[in-house]
Amino acid sequence: MANILSYLQIILAVLLIILILVQQSEASLGAAFGGGDGGGAYHTRRGAEKIIFYATIVVAILFILSAIASLLI
């Protein structure tokens, strides 16, 4: 069982990294250094961006639960 949890954690970690990297960032590289024209406007997620956002949350929760489960076993 512990072996299965190890593989599950690896898969979830890779999936979480991919989902985080796929998400669009509101700030460009110039905004990171004080420039940019972001203005702090509110951004509504729609379509695929919303699905990726919620999938990231679900995968993160599953990863945390699998880490806790591996500690208990």
pLDDT at 43: 73
Residues of the chain whose pLDDT is less than 50? none
Give pLDDT, residue 68.
Answer: 96
End-to-end CA separation in angstroms for the chain = 8
- Predicted TM-score (pTM) of this structure: 0.75
Q: Give the tokens for residue 26.
A: 């509101």
Separation CA 48–CA 21 (nearest Å):
14
Instruction: Give per-residue pLDDT as tens, 14-25.
Output: 999 999 999 876
> How far apart are alpha carbons 28 and 43 in whole angstroms?
14
